[in-house]
Chain A
Amino acid sequence: DVKVTQSSRYLVKRTGEKVFLECVQDMDHENMFWYRQDPGLGLRLIYFSYDVKMKEKGDIPEGYSVSREKKERFSLILESASTNQTSMYLCASSPSMGLKLYNEQFFGPGTRLTVL
């Protein structure tokens, strides 16, 4: 079974703090993703990575950065947290396309971040 774990289920931070959200997957997947989920907006892609030390901006990268130093770990960083970054953050991983017809994404349980 694929397992994607996230470092915290709930997090409360103050405006201006630097916040680290950690994600680890145990299936040797090449691709990793960070989303945020907000009511009425669905899942929006923040950043993704298709290899170690590689990163690509998603649809809403502003105010975020990422780090992927090891294949199994993908970190999301809020350099200076703001109240509009209060959200549910979801990490996902997937294998590379290779010869596969599709590459399903496997999600972690999410981190509910509140910025006061």
Chain B
Amino acid sequence: DQQVKQNSPSLSVQEGRISILNCDYTNSMFDYFLWYKKYPAEGPTFLISISSIKDKNEDGRFTVFLNKSAKHLSLHIVPSQPGDSAVYFCAARDSSNTGKLIFGQGTTLQVKP
């Protein structure tokens, strides 16, 4: 049973425009959410995170929004650049103390020049 879902396998955006990647979750006990970025033949790298007590976190061109009532989070990239082309995974941490993360299926973003 997929507790973290990214329903769009792929997204294509023109350079300079906004990219919006979406993620839904089912478990209300998740207390922290992270986005990772993965290039081919490399491991995922941490991008941005948000605590469940906040609804927005911004870091440069990247902003994550959390809507707890809808159990939905989104990653906005503005402006999008060709170097942003990668697979993006959202992840959720449960409130246990193990550090376990549950990942979504990933969304492949292509930013066209």
Contact = CB atoms under 8 A, between A and B. Distances in A.
B62 interface: no
Most chain A CB within 10 A, of B93, B99, B101, is at B99
B99 A110 contact: no
B66 to A, nearest CB: 14
B100 interface: yes
A107 B44 contact: yes
Given A45-B102, A107-B43, 14 more contacts: A9-B41, A31-B98, A40-B105, A42-B103, A42-B105, A56-B98, A97-B97, A101-B32, A102-B32, A102-B93, A104-B46, A107-B45, A110-B41, A110-B42
B43 A48 contact: no
B98 A109 contact: no
Most chain B CB within 10 A, of A42, A58, A102, A110, is at A42
7 tightest A-B CB contacts, nearest first: A107-B43, A43-B103, A42-B105, A31-B99, A42-B103, A103-B99, A104-B46
Nearest to A6: B43
Contact of B100 (A9, A41, A45, A102): A45
Given A42-B106, A101-B32, A50 B99 contact: yes
Interface string B2-28: 001010010000000000000000000
Interface in A35-91: 35, 40-45, 48, 50, 56, 58, 90
29 contacts: A9-B41, A35-B103, A40-B9, A41-B105, A42-B6, A42-B89, A42-B103, A42-B104, A42-B105, A43-B89, A43-B103, A45-B100, A45-B101, A45-B102, A56-B98, A90-B43, A90-B44, A97-B99, A101-B32, A101-B51, A102-B34, A102-B49, A102-B93, A105-B99, A105-B101, A107-B36, A107-B44, A109-B41, A110-B41
